[in-house]
Amino acid sequence: MADGVPGGRQGSLNFDSPHLISSHRPVDTLSRRTPQKKRSLASVIKKFFLKSSKDDEKQKMLRLAQNANAGIVGLYNHGNTCYMNAVLQCLSHTLEVTKYFVLNKYKQDVLKRIGNSQELSDSLSRVLKSLWTNGYKSEISSSFKHIIGKKAVQYSGTEQHDAHEFLLWLLDNLHDEMNIAKSTKNKKISTRKTVIRDDAKAAEEALSNQSKCNKSFIYDRFQALYRSSITCPMCNKCSNTFDPFLSLSLPLPHQGRRPVFIVIVYLPETLHSFPKQLKVGMLMDADENIQRLREVVAEDTNISHKNLILAEIYYDGFHRTLTDELSINSIHEADPIYAIQTLPPSQNSSYILIVLITSLGGRRFGSPLTFSFDRLATYSDLSGYISQLIRTNSEAVSLKVISSDGSKELPRDVEHPLLVAEVEKILEEHIPSSGPVHIKMVAEFQDEIQSGLAHQTVDEHESVEQVRVANASNPICTLYDCLQLYTKDERLEDDTWMCPNCNKRPAKPNKVLKFWSTPDMLVIHLKRFRQIAPTARRVKVDLLVTYPITGLDLSKYVCESSHRFKSPHNQHIYDLVGVVNHYGNMLGGHYTAVCRSGHPDKKWHIYDDKQVNKIMESEVVTSSAYMLFYRKCSLPPVNLDWIPNSPPHNISNLRRSNLTRSLERINIGKSES
């Protein structure tokens, strides 16, 4: 390699040299050489580009390789922060949002609001920059969570949270930091005007009123208007109101038949055997109740329905007893439901029916057991019988009874522990429709015990697989079905609405909801969690909703008159960019994100906290989808040349700076001559 020549190529320009001629010869020879003819500016530029084009291609390929994984980075979990990580990944792959924060454009808006805090915006900007420059570290997302916790105490700990609620909180608080609207009060719009005025004018007034108080990048991108129309049955006048929305919460269609899986616990066949456990599957009408389920189980097993207790038992113990009045929808197909066969009621009034589970270190083992026991027995008698029942030499360290108030340990220092007030209370609160009168008990063991009960298994009946197959072959619900349900005519059941035209309160007026405008970034929330009457218990619906990856068309659900409304993007077609998935149920779950790469390959990846894996497009649509992030197709494409250290941006700057320095030296040489 020649000394002093970058790359070892003779004749190349060295722009760091004070001379414009080749500096690869020794300096003393330069002083004795014959002056050469001065080169023209055009020849210098031509030679520069011939050389730099080859170097730039190498640098471009190198930096392309370094940036190939930009944005495809997982996030650490800082204590049940999977809900936060999934939302951040979907926002990160909404490139308009990422570009806005990575290039610090948000600071221009924040500065317009004197005195406003920008702590949240700055922290989000740091997270997105780190993901797209391969500079992510655990401390960055930890700091983001800390700032979130400072602003909202509910997010300061390690509790689980709903991802959709967090997204709305985040968008609203980002909006507050960069809201450039000058007014703080909405102008009240007369409802009478909405009856007589043109829709476009009323919508424009509503939007203008909203913009005067709420104007930010977040709202400009994510917010749109829907029109609510109520027709008065008395005067036949239609009243229209216009309201903004940040996301769509779509209901899921009602399921006609749903799968139910139950573990049948039979009585032991002999005195020296343990109960047999058999898991069965059945399809039940969704509008039926637990009483019908109890009858079906009794018919299929030849067990009297009077000797069946239906209970929900998790790894940590009893959760609830199912009563006949509950709806089938009150149980989820993943809930561990047990149908426990009991002995017929004892003729001896001093005996009590006990449903027992055994636990080791707070974790249940073996099958539930049932037996009748004398309430006049001592604690030692009861504890010894339980050890004998499960055939172990170990003794339980505690015996607890389960009531509506939780669990309470039976006292050792009383003569008859089954006669204490807590047991009496349980018996008094017994609901007849929950099965025979009984108490639930937990025997807690401390050390590893030798018992065949610990090695029990649950057999699976062929009906389980048959029900799974039958449920999978049910008619598929589409996202358009959910949209149709969301926008269908609705009869208002109350009489709180007053017609602004006739000033009367009609009974059951008709309400129709449609979109007046559609946002650039559309977030769709699938309402998978329902409250079930009469207990108000929330359950999750695992219905598969198929959604288009490209070409989601909302035109059918947009008001026809809105086409006259001026909008920068009057098309209503979207492509999917991200999905937030939820796994589990109401007692616990986990969130992941599936996002389309912003790189030219448009590949899909699944983000499970720090773990990132490439998936096929056919794997994007699943029954776990909870939130969908769509981007309007009519928006201009977002390239990645704005990413810090990306090839096109920096190489062009490098080329201009080198050329500028060379031209300056040419001018210096001319002036010296």
Give me the sheet containing 510-515, strands edge to edge: 238-245, 224-231, 510-515, 490-491
Which residue is listed with tokens 């050489």?
A: 33
Q: Could you tell me how far CA 281 lies from the centroid of its own chain?
A: 29
pLDDT digits (tens, 9 = 90+) for 244-290: 899 999 999 876 778 899 999 999 888 778 899 999 999 888 778 89
Res 476: pLDDT:
73
Spell out the CATH class of 257-472: alpha beta
DSSP 198-220: -HHHHHHHHHHHHHHH---HHHH
Q: 91 and 98 in contact (C-beta within 8 Å)? A: yes
Q: 87 and 581 in contact (C-beta within 8 Å)? A: no
Is residue 560 scored above 90 in pLDDT? no
pLDDT digits (tens, 9 = 90+) for 15-33: 333 333 333 333 343 344 4
Q: 221 and 519 in contact (C-beta within 8 Å)? A: yes
Res 511: pLDDT:
80
pLDDT digits (tens, 9 = 90+) for 394-416: 888 999 999 888 889 999 999 99
Percent of the chain with pLDDT over 70: 77
Degrees, nearest 5: CA angle 556-494-248? 35
Res 211: pLDDT:
67
Res 226: pLDDT:
86
Structure tokens at 169: 């909180």
Structure tokens at 251: 């209901």
pLDDT band at 333 (very low <50, low <70, confident <90, very high): confident
Measure the N-to-C terminal CA separation of the chain; round to a whole number of Å.
33
Q: 378 and 399 in contact (C-beta within 8 Å)? A: no
DSSP 365: E
pLDDT band at 185 (very low <50, low <70, confident <90, very high): low
Q: 486 and 253 in contact (C-beta within 8 Å)? A: no
Helix, strand, coil percent values for the chain (each to nearest 5): 35, 25, 40
Which residue is listed with tokens 């609405």?
A: 497
For the residues 113-133, what does the mean pLDDT come to?
Answer: 87
Residues contacting residue 406 through CB under 8 Å, at least 6 positions apart:
none
Structure tokens at 599: 């790189």
Pairing of strands 439-445, 351-360: parallel
Q: Output the CA–CA distances (angstroms, integers) from residue 423 to 221, 382, 409, 498, in the order listed.
A: 60, 14, 11, 55
Structure tokens at 250: 């779509």
User: Strand, helix or coil at 479?
Assistant: helix
The amino acid at 314:
Y
**Bridge partners, residue 608, by sequence:** 611
Please indicate whether residue 536 or residue 573 has the higher confidence score (pLDDT).
573
For the residues 414-424, what does the mean pLDDT come to?
Answer: 93
Residues contacting residue 3 through CB under 8 Å, at least 6 positions apart:
24
Q: How far apart are CA 163 and CA 525, in angstroms?
A: 10
Is residue 54 scored above 60 in pLDDT? no
Q: How far apart are CA 392 and CA 413, in angstroms?
A: 24
Structure tokens at 85: 């990580």
State the pTM of this model.
Answer: 0.64
Instruction: Sketch the domain layout of the chain as residue ranges.
Output: 257-472
Task: Please state whether the peptide bond connecting residue 534 to the residue before it is cis, i.e. omega within 30 degrees of 0.
Answer: yes
Q: 268 and 410 in contact (C-beta within 8 Å)? A: no
Q: Look at 28-42, 429-443, 604-618 and tell me which has the smallest mean pLDDT.
A: 28-42
Q: How far apart are CA 144 and CA 81, in angstroms?
A: 11
Which residue is listed with tokens 């072959």?
A: 473
DSSP 76: -
Structure tokens at 571: 């098309």
Q: How far apart are CA 199 and CA 194, in angstroms?
A: 8
DSSP 327: B
Mean pLDDT of the chain: 80
Q: Output the CA–CA distances (angstroms, integers) from residue 38 to 48, 91, 541, 659, 669, in the order listed.
A: 16, 57, 81, 18, 10
Is residue 585 scored above 90 in pLDDT? no
Is residue 173 scored above 80 in pLDDT? yes
